Structure 1
Amino acid sequence: MSKKPGFSERVAVVTGGAQGIGLAVVRALLARGAQVSVWDVNPDAARAALDGETVQVVGCDVSDWDSVQAATRATEQEFGRIDILVNSAGIAGPNATVEAYDNDAWHQIVQINLTGTYFTNKSVIAGMKERDYGRIVNIASIAGKEGNPNACAYSASKAGVIGFTKSLGKELAGSDIAVNCVTPAAARTPLFDQMSQEHIDYMLSKIPRNRFLEVDEAAAMIVWLASSENSFSTGAVFDLSGGRATY
């Protein structure tokens, strides 16, 4: 693979890198010369998806603090540091009204999507502060800004990711550490397997471009946010909504 300049001395962690937007980000970072560690709850799937690429794959459940700490240690032992975190791990969960929503599903979605963001971000802060450099990009969702009906847990968890990102960005603004998030509209990824066709059709109907987001389009913005070129923006929300976002 030919290398594009920009990340040749950077070590990046991508959670949920076995599929979807996370996998696209891994490939984009590799193409730009980064050393990449993929943290995924299904490491075998990550290895299969990245067959032939030189990456570290670490089994990691982002909803479990001990697992995240172990993944952090494994990456630091392999590469010496972590410069970049792209937190892409997440689940959509079932589609149902709040009244009918399964309580266990609610807890699982919030634990993975929101608490997982907290755990992964928390795990890399000390090293980034020590080196006075870091780039964190959390994957939220347009659902976190607008709220999708029949997706209360997903919408709430992604709204939490936005608020968390703004908080951490302000905490670290005095150093060369940028913490931002993106709010993608729906992309046709394996997350669709967790959704009803009615819900998928609803999401498409809300996108003025009248198509779903391509994962490579998302990766292009995420990789810029993870680069040294992004030296000013922090605690910010970047839309990938195809015109859907209204604020």
Structure 2
Amino acid sequence: MRASRTAVITGGMSGLGAAAAARLVKDGLKVITLDLADRADLRVDVTDAAAVRAAAARLGPVDILVNAAGVVGPYLPLWQIPLDAWENTFAVNVHGTFNACKAFVPAMRERGWGRIINVASIAGKVGNPNMSAYSAASAALIALTKSLGKELATSGVLANAVAPTLVQAPSNAATAPEAFAHASDRTPTRRLSQPEEIAEFIAWLASDKVNHTTGAIYDIGGAPVTY
């Protein structure tokens, strides 16, 4: 991979996003983190479309976009979820990804090369109980990726997504113990995924080794779904 390529990672200061940033640096990429954390390269709220557009204009050409910004949302039965908690889960996970893609994809299309990796969740396929907001938002990300992959299929820009099981990361610090137990009980390997394991797969999807895969969703993490 050419060292001149640039990757932008939303939510790049913690958890899976930070692991992806560290892994892509090892491949010689220039990595720019977009996050609300103080030490981010650019402090950007991905739910603010104007702020994301401004960041894209400031950065110029970007080759790789990893949409890792996300929140788990409330751990409650659907009928008990406050509307603002539901809306915030979609605002960060879905609207944030939409905003970033809308801001960075056009220039990728113009240059004829790009890689987009969206971070969804296996919850979007199986629907975790008491996590309907997160499951629904992840399902939306999965459908978004499939559509975007088809729209970009002849452009040289590839859009794929990873759908991990529950990841052992700081973003899950507030996740209810019952959610961890549910995930572990239904994962044949009987353990949670580590951010570095997901980052390895993201690095592969961001590389020149992948050139004919788009609109695909990759389940990662101990064979959580069997067919």
Is the structural similarity TM-score above 0.5? yes
Q: Is 1:178 aligned to residue 119 of structure 2?
A: no
Question: How much does 1:155 deviate?
Answer: 0.4
**Higher alpha-carbon deviation: 131-140 or 93-102:** 93-102
Question: How much does 1:91 deviate?
Answer: 0.3
Note the residue ranges of structure 2 that are not aligned, 5 or more in a row: none
Q: Is 1:204 aligned to residue 204 of structure 2?
A: no
Tell me the residue number matched to 2:144: 164
Match of 2:14 among 4, 16, 19: 19
Go from structure 1 to structure 2 and tell me whether the alpha carbon gap of 1:243 and 1:105 turns closer, same or farther (over 3 Å shift).
same
Identity rate, percent = 40
Q: Is 1:246 aligned to residue 226 of structure 2?
A: yes
**Quick check: 2:121–2:162 contact (8 Å CA) kept in 1?**
yes
Tell me the residue number matched to 1:54: none
Tell me the residue number matched to 2:45: 61
| Cα distance in structure 1, aligned partners of 2:48 and 2:35 | 12
| Cα distance in structure 2, aligned partners of 1:24 and 1:192 | 15
**Quick check: 2:7–2:29 contact (8 Å CA) kept in 1?**
yes
Match of 1:116 among 89, 96, 103: 96
| Cα distance in structure 2, aligned partners of 1:31 and 1:21 | 16
Match of 1:149 among 129, 134, 145: 129
- TM-score w.r.t. structure 1 length? 0.89
| Cα distance in structure 1, aligned partners of 2:42 and 2:2 | 21
SS of residue paired to 1:125: helix
Q: Is 1:35 aligned to residue 19 of structure 2?
A: no
Question: How much does 1:112 deviate?
Answer: 0.6
Tell me the residue number matched to 1:70: 54
Question: How much does 1:190 deviate?
Answer: 1.3
Question: How much does 1:99 deviate?
Answer: 1.1
Q: Is 1:103 aligned to residue 111 of structure 2?
A: no
Question: How much does 1:246 deviate?
Answer: 3.1
**Quick check: 2:167–2:195 contact (8 Å CA) kept in 1?**
yes
| Cα distance in structure 1, aligned partners of 2:15 and 2:53 | 24
| Cα distance in structure 1, aligned partners of 2:153 and 2:220 | 24
- Deviation per residue, 1:160-180 (Å, 9 max, x gap): 000000001000101111000
Matched residue count: 227
**Quick check: 2:14–2:171 contact (8 Å CA) kept in 1?**
no
Question: How much does 1:202 deviate?
Answer: 1.1
**Higher alpha-carbon deviation: 182-191 or 157-166:** 182-191
Code of the residue aligned with 2:153 in structure 1: it is: A
- TM-score w.r.t. structure 2 length? 0.97
